[in-house]
Amino acid sequence: MLIAGGDDGINYLASAGLYDPGAGKFTATGNLIVARDNHTATLLPSGKVLVAGGNGFSGILASAELYE
């Protein structure tokens, strides 16, 4: 399970991690290119995740990135 972005109450986050619910363990992975919160994440048939929209430091984001 990919967990990416969000906020810490002050800043938007670009951090990302993979969570294994069976092991109850997080593994760090590559960060998002743009820090964002309130975005969507869609699992594509290829296994990649499309992360789109949300809020960022510059306001409402009209960008997307493909997460592998």
Question: What does the pLDDT look like over 5-37, one tens digit per residue?
Answer: 999 999 999 999 999 999 999 998 999 999 999
Residue 50 has what pLDDT? Answer: 97
E strands present in the chain: 2-4, 16-20, 25-28, 40-43, 49-52, 55-56, 59-60, 64-67
Number of domains in the chain: 1
Residue 68 has what pLDDT? Answer: 83
Residue indicated by tokens 């969507």: 40
Task: Please indicate, yes or no, whether the overall pTM of this predicted structure exceeds 0.85.
Answer: yes
Determine the average pLDDT of the residues in 43-50.
Answer: 96
Determine the average pLDDT of the residues in 47-58.
Answer: 96
Residue span of the structural domain in which 7 resides: 2-67
